[in-house]
Amino acid sequence: MRQVDSLLSNGIFQGLMGLSFLSFLISVWIFCKFKSPDYLPISTSEYSKWGQKMSTFENNSPHLYPKLPYLPIFPEIENEDVLIHQTLHKNQPTIAGIAAILYRFLSALHESNQQLATNKNQTTSSTNGDNKRNEVEVIRQAYFRLAQEHLVPLDIAYQGRTIFDVRNDDSIFLSVASFREHLLADTLMSAFGSATHPEKLFVGVIVNNCFGLDSKIPCRGSPRVVGQDQNGRDILEIEDGKPDINHIGTFCGNITFQKYCEQGQVRVFYINETDALGPAVTRYYSSKLWGGETYYCQIDSHLKFANDWDQLYIQDLKLTRNFPKSVLSTYPPGFVNFRQTPPYTPGTRLCRCQIRANEGFLPRVEMEGRCNETDIRPTQMAFIGAGFFFASAKFLLDVPFDPFLPWLFMGEEIALSIRAWTSGWNIYSPRKNLIGHQYRPLKMHTPHYWTSVARLFDKPNMVDQVTHSIRKRIKIMIGYPGIEKDEVPNENDEDDPYRLSYGLDRYGLGTERSATDYLKFAEIDLEQKTCGPMKWCSEGQLE
> Which residues of this protein are in contact with ligand NAG, per CB under 6 A?
74, 106-107, 110, 112, 115-116, 121, 142, 189, 213-214, 254, 256, 272, 275, 372, 374
Name which of 258 and 451 has its Cβ closer to ligand NAG. Answer: 258
Count of CB atoms situated within 10 Å of the CB of 48: 9
Task: Give me the least distance between CB of 458 and ligand NAG, in Å please.
Answer: 15
Residue among 252 and 474 whose Cβ is closer to ligand NAG: 252
Q: Half-sphere exposure of residue 107, counting CA atoms within 13 Å on the CB side?
A: 8
Output the smallest distance, CB 74 to ligand NAG, in A.
Answer: 5
- Smallest gap from Cβ 45 to ligand NAG, in A, equals 19
Which CB, 201 or 509, lies closer to ligand NAG?
201
Nearer to ligand NAG, 192 or 480 (CB): 192
Residues ≥6 apart with Cβ < 8 Å to 533 = 352, 523
Taking alpha carbons only, the member of 189, 210, 207 closest to residue 198 is 189
DSSP 369-424: -B--TT-SS--EES---TTEEEEETTHHHHS---S--TT--TTHHHHHHHHHHHTT
d(CA 541, CA 543): 7
- Distance of closest approach, residue 30 Cβ to ligand NAG, in angstroms: 27
Closest contact distance (angstroms) between CB of 272 and ligand NAG is 4
* Closer residue to ligand NAG in complex, CB, 169/214: 214
Nearer to ligand NAG, 296 or 428 (CB): 428
| Residue whose Cβ sits closest to ligand NAG | 110
Amino acid found at 63: H
d(CA 430, CA 406): 30
**Residue placing its CB nearer to ligand NAG in the complex, 106 or 405:** 106
The minimum distance between CB 270 and ligand NAG, in angstroms, equals 7
Shorter beta-carbon distance to ligand NAG: residue 56 or 119:
119
- Smallest distance from ligand NAG to CB 438, Å: 17
- The closest of 328, 332, 431 to 377, measured between CA atoms, is 431
**Min dist. Cβ of residue 300 to ligand NAG (A):** 19
The full 3-state SS of 267-307, as one line of letters, equals EEEEEEHHHCCCHHHHHHHHHCCCCCCCEEEEECCCEEECC
Q: Prior bond to 243 cis, omega within 30?
A: no
Give the total residue count for the chain: 543
Shortest gap between Cβ of 250 and ligand NAG (angstroms)? 7
For 249, 267, 272, the CA distances from 252, given in Å and listed in that order, are: 5, 11, 21
- The SS3 of residue 35 is coil
Residue 201 CA to residue 34 CA, distance in Å, equals 21
DSSP state of 432: B
Least separation in angstroms between residue 346's CB and ligand NAG is: 9
Residue 56 or 107: the one with the smaller Cβ distance to ligand NAG is 107
Reduced to 3 states (helix: H, G, I; strand: E, B; else coil), residue 534 is coil
112 or 423, CB closer to ligand NAG? Answer: 112
Rounded-to-integer distance, Cα 343 and Cα 134, Å = 50
- Measured from the CB atom, is 275 or 316 closer to ligand NAG? 275
Q: Which is nearer to ligand NAG, 209 or 298 (CB)?
A: 209
**CB-CB contact of 377 with 319 (8 Å):** yes
Rg (CA), the chain: 25
Among 498, 164, 512, 467, smallest CA distance to 325 is for 512
Please identify, using beta-carbon distances, which residue of 474 and 534 lies nearer to ligand NAG: 534
Look at residues 109, 313, 98, 83 and name the one whose alpha carbon lies nearest to residue 204: 98
Q: Closest separation between CB of residue 106 and ligand NAG, Å? A: 5
- CB 8 → ligand NAG: shortest distance, Å? 53
Least distance to ligand NAG, CB of residue 374, Å: 5
| Shorter beta-carbon distance to ligand NAG: residue 214 or 486 | 214
Quickly list DSSP for 302-358: SEEE-TTHHHHHHHHHHHSTTTTSEEEE--PPB-SSTTSPPP-PBPB---EEEE-GG
Close Cβ partners of 52 (under 8 Å, ≥ 6 residues apart): none
- Residue 228, classed as helix, strand or coil, is strand
Peptide bond between residue 37 and the one before it cis (omega within 30 degrees of 0): no
Closest contact distance (angstroms) between CB of 162 and ligand NAG is 27
